[in-house]
Amino acid sequence: MKKMRLLLVVLFAVMFAETVKADRMNSKYAIVIHGGAGSAISNEAFVAAREEVLEQALDAGVRILSKGGTSLDAVEQVIRILEDSPLFNAGRGGVLTAQGINELDATIMDGRTRACGAVGGVTTVKNPISLARRVMTETRHVLLVSEGADQFAAQLDDPAIEIVAPEYFRTEKQVERLKRVKEREKLTTKEKMGTVGCVALDRNGNLAAGTSTGGLVNKKHGRLGDSPIIGAGTYANNTTCGISCTGVGEDFIRHAIAYDIHARMHYGKQKLESAVQHVLKSEKYPIVGGMIGIDLQGSITMQFNTDGMARAAADSTGLRVIKAGK
Amino acid sequence: MKKMRLLLVVLFAVMFAETVKADRMNSKYAIVIHGGAGSAISNEAFVAAREEVLEQALDAGVRILSKGGTSLDAVEQVIRILEDSPLFNAGRGGVLTAQGINELDATIMDGRTRACGAVGGVTTVKNPISLARRVMTETRHVLLVSEGADQFAAQLDDPAIEIVAPEYFRTEKQVERLKRVKEREKLTTKEKMGTVGCVALDRNGNLAAGTSTGGLVNKKHGRLGDSPIIGAGTYANNTTCGISCTGVGEDFIRHAIAYDIHARMHYGKQKLESAVQHVLKSEKYPIVGGMIGIDLQGSITMQFNTDGMARAAADSTGLRVIKAGK
C-alpha cells in the first residue's frame, strides 16, 4: 500500500513536471537587433546587403529561441554574425582609432542573475561578444580592457575565441573613412556612430542583452564608450527589461541610459515603450542615437532620434521586421 | 533726468547682485570622505596615522568650500591628498595586480552639468583623480584606459599631472601583501578591498563626487572595477545627490549602485539616507562595502555593511567627524 502511494506521488510529480515544461516550451519568445543608429542610408545596394546580414542574424536567433534555447545563447550568436560582417561597426567592420587601429568593445548580460561580462579596447579577438561572455563565466571580474583583455583571450582554449591579426579588422572602407575624417573632420556626429546589439527573451522567461562596437571613428587610443559599460549601453533584468543602446556613447554613460530605463520601469512604474520614448525625446537627455528593448511580457521596442537605425525583430506570435534604410 | 534714472537702475542692480552673492556665501556647504570599507582595524598607530591623513584631506576640502570654492575643486584636492598617502588603496598606496604592477582607476563628476571624466588602468600618473578631471575638460571622451590614458597624460603640459615611474607606487607593504595573497589566497573579501572617495556640496548648491582606487589586490591585468565606471562607483546630479562607493566593484557595476541611489530618490521619492541603507542591507543587492553621499539639502550619509570604513565629514553647521578604526 505504501509502495502504491509512493508510486502515485512519483507519477503525479512527473506528469506535473512535464506539463510545466510543455507550458514553458509553448510560452513566448522575442528577439530584437540593432545595427547602429545614424544617418538614413539611400544607397539601395548597401541597404539590401545589410538587410541580408540582419536577416541571417535574426534567423539564427529565432532558431535558438524557438527550440527553447537560452536568450544568452541567442544574443551571443546573433552578435557574432553581425561582428563577422564588414557592414556593421563591430568586429570585422569596426572603425579605426586616430592611430589607425581597431579597438573593440562588447558587453553581455544575463537578466536572470545579473551576471555580466564586458571587454574594452580589444585588438586581436574576432568576436568580442564571446570574449565578454567568457569574462562573465570564466573570471571573477566583470570588465577587462586593452592588453589585459587580449592576454585573457590568448590564454583561453576555446574555439569560440578565435585570435586574429589586427589586419583582419582593417577593411579598406574604414581606412578610407579615417583618412576622410582626418582630412576634413566633416562627418556629422550621426555619421561617426554605429554599434550592434541584441536583446532576447527566451521561453523560460529569461531576458539577456548584448552590445558590440568599434566605437567612434578617429577616437583616442584607450577611449571606451558606453558599449562595454554595464548600465550605460547595455542592461538586462528579468524584473523589467533588456536594453541595448547605440549612439554617442559619452552621453549614454553620463546618464546611465540603459539602467535609467530599468529604473523608470522599476521605481517609476513606466512602460518600456514610453520610458525609451521619453529618454530619446526629452531635452533633459541630450542623447543622439537609438535603443532596442524587450520587457518581461515580450513587448519589443525599437526607437531612435537619428535619421535611421538598422534593425530587425521577431517573436513567437509571428512578428517579423527587417529594416536597414531609415 | 534720464541719466539719473539709469544711475539708480545700475545702483540697484549692483546692490541686488551683492546681496545674492552674500546669500550664496552664507549658504551651506558639506563634505564627506571615505578611505575604503573593509575590516575593522585594531592597530592603534595605523588608525591614528590614517586619521591624520583624513584630517588633512578634510581640512583642505573645508578650506576650499568655506571660501566659496567649487565642489569639483574640493573633491579633486581631497582625493589628491589621499592618493599621495601610502596608507590608502589609491595612488601611492594602490594594491598590486597579479603581475605585480599598479593599475589605477579614478572618476570625477560634476552634478551641475553631469560632465564627467574617468581613467582606468593608469600606471604612470601620480594623481589619477586629476587626470580624470582632464579627461572631462580636455577631451570629448568620458573614459580613457590603459596605455591610451597614460599617453594622454604624457601629452598634457599641466603641473597637476605629474608623471612618475611605476616604482613610485610599489610600496614595500603592497609587495608583501601580494606575496601573502598569492601564497595563501587567504585574505577575506573584506581585506582585499579599499578605495578613496569624496562628495562635496558647495555654496552655490553644486554637488560633485569623485573616487580613486588601486582596485582589488591580485586582480587580473586590465581589470576595471566600479571606480572608473560612471553610475557604478560614482555619480553626481544636482537634482538628487552625489555618491561615492567602496567595496567589491563587480557587484557595484552589476547593479549600477551609484546611479541606483539617484534613481531611488528621483523616481522612487526616497530619501538619501534610506536609499543607501536599503541597498546596503537588502538581500536583493549582494553588495559588500560602503557608500558616502550628500543630498541637495546638504545632508550627509556614511554607511557600510563591512566591519569598518575609514571616513570623515564636515559641514557649515559645525559637523566634524573623523574615524578610521571601525
Q: Is the pLDDT of residue A4 over 90?
A: no
Helix (H), strand (E) at residue A176: helix A172-184
Q: Do B141 and A250 touch (CB under 8 A)?
A: yes
- From the list B142, B223, B255, the residue facing A148 with the nearest CB is B223
- Say how far apart CA A57 and CA A193 lie, in whole Å: 21
- How is residue B120 written as a grid cell? 582606468
Dihedral (CA of A47, A50, A52, A58) sign:
negative
Chain A contacts of B238, Cβ < 8 Å?
Answer: none
Q: What is the pTM of this model?
A: 0.90
The secondary element (H helix, E strand) that includes residue B276 is helix B272-281
pLDDT score for A19: 52
Q: Which of B121, B151, B263 sits opposite A263 (nearest CB)?
A: B263
Helix ranges (DSSP H) in A188-256: 189-192, 249-254
A119-160 pLDDT, tens digit each: 999 999 999 999 999 999 999 999 999 999 999 999 999 999
B25 Cα to chain A: minimum distance (Å): 29
Of residues B218 and A187, which shows the higher confidence score?
B218
Contact between A121 and B148 using a beta-carbon 8 Å cutoff: yes
What is d(CA B175, CA B165) in angstroms, rounded to the nearest whole number? 16
pLDDT recorded at residue A185: 61
Our CA-based measurement puts residue A305 at a distance from the nearest CA of chain B, in whole angstroms, of 21
Contacts B144 to A, Cβ<8 Å? 220, 222-224
Torsion of CA B79, B80, B86, B92, to 10 degrees: 120
Closest CA to A102 of A165, A40, A59: A165
Share above pLDDT 70 across residues of chain A, in percent, rounded to a whole number: 90
> What are the backbone dihedrals phi and psi of residue B92, each rounded to the nearest 5 degrees, phi first?
-45, -40
Best residue in B267, B284, B285 for a mutation probing chain A (most A CBs within 10 Å) = B267
Buried b (16+ CB within 10 A) or exposed e, A6-18: eeeeeeeeeeeee
Using a CB-CB cut-off of 8 Å, the residues of chain A touching B219 are 141
Set of chain B residues whose Cβ sits within 8 Å of the Cβ of A115? 254
Architecture of the B28-323 domain: 4-Layer Sandwich (3.60)
Closest Cβ opposite residue B147 in set A146, A219, A231: A146
Provide the pLDDT for residue A286.
86
pLDDT at A189: 56
- Pairwise CB contact (< 8 Å): A230 & B235: no
- Given this model, what pLDDT does residue B17 score? 58
Please give the angle made by the CA atoms of B126, B151 and A119, to the nearest 5 degrees: 95
The gap from C-alpha B115 to its chain's centroid, in whole angstroms, comes to 15
- The residue that leads in pLDDT, A277 or B285, is A277
Q: Which amino acid is at B95?
A: V
Nearest to B161 by CA among B65, B76, B101: B76
Cα dihedral: A129, A132, A137, A138 (round 10): 120
pLDDT in tens, A288-325: 999 999 999 999 999 999 999 999 999 999 999 999 97
- pLDDT at residue A247 greater than cutoff 70: yes
Cβ distance A256 to B254 less than 8 Å, yes or no, reads no
Give the model's pLDDT for residue A43: 87
Query: Residue A288 burial (CB < 10 Å; 0-12/13-18/19+)?
Result: buried
Residue B195 annotated in active site:
yes
Contact between chains at B147 and A249 (C-beta distance less than 8 A): no
Please report the pLDDT score of residue A95 as a whole number. 86
Give yes or no for residue A2 having a pLDDT over 70.
no
Interfacial residues of A (vs B; Cβ cutoff 8 Å): 114-116, 120-121, 139-149, 151-152, 219-225, 229-232, 235, 249-250, 253-256, 259-260, 263-264, 266-268
Q: Which of A89, A148, A86, A95 is nearest to A118 (CA)?
A: A148
User: Position of cell 549614454?
Assistant: A252
B248 → chain A, closest CA residue? A141
Q: Do B229 and A143 touch (CB under 8 A)?
A: yes
Residue type, A62: V
**Residue A318, Cβ neighbours under 10 Å: how many?**
6
pLDDT at A21 over 60: no
Measure in Å the smallest separation between the Cα of A310 and chain B Cα atoms: 25
Cβ-defined contact of B259 to A230 (cutoff 8 Å): no
Decide if B268 and A268 are in contact by the 8 Å CB cutoff: yes
ipTM of the complex: 0.89
A193-219 residue pLDDT tens: 679 999 999 999 999 999 999 988 888
Q: Shortest Cα distance from A232 to chain B (angstroms)?
A: 8
DSSP state of B124: S
Distance CA A110, CA A115 (A): 5
Q: Which cell numbers in the block locate residue B171?
A: 610600496
Q: Which residues in chain B touch residue A235, judged by CB atoms under 8 angstroms apart?
A: 256
> Following DSSP, what letter does each residue of B179-248 receive, concatenated?
HHHHHH----HHHH---EEEEEE-TTS-EEEEEEE--STTPPTTEE-STTSBTTTEEEETTTEEEEEEE-
Q: Hey, what's the cell of A139? A: 573570471
- Paired with A304 in beta bridges are A290
What is the distance in angstroms between the Cα of A279 and the nearest Cα belonging to chain B? Answer: 14
Closest residue in B to A139 (Cα) is: B220
Give the model's pLDDT for residue A1. 57
Q: What is the mean pLDDT of residues A60-82?
A: 98
| Residues A260, B259: C-beta atoms closer than 8 Å | yes
Q: Cβ separation of A255 and B151 shorter than 8 Å? A: no
Cβ-contact B310, B40 below 8 angstroms: no
pLDDT at B183: 79
Question: What residues pair up with B313 in beta bridges, in sequence order?
Answer: B32, B321
Catalytic residue among A97, A123, A124, A195: A195
Question: Could you count the other beta carbons within 10 Å of the beta carbon of residue B6?
Answer: 10
Residue A11 pLDDT? 66
% of chain A residues with pLDDT over 90: 74
CA–CA gap between residue B270 and residue B295 (Å, rounded): 11
Interface test with A, best of B259, B261, B269, B278 (most A CBs within 10 A): B259
When CB atoms are compared, the residue of B149, B223, B264 closest to A143 is: B223
Contact flag A230-B253 (C-beta cutoff 8 Å) = yes
Low-confidence residues of chain B, pLDDT below 50?
A: 22
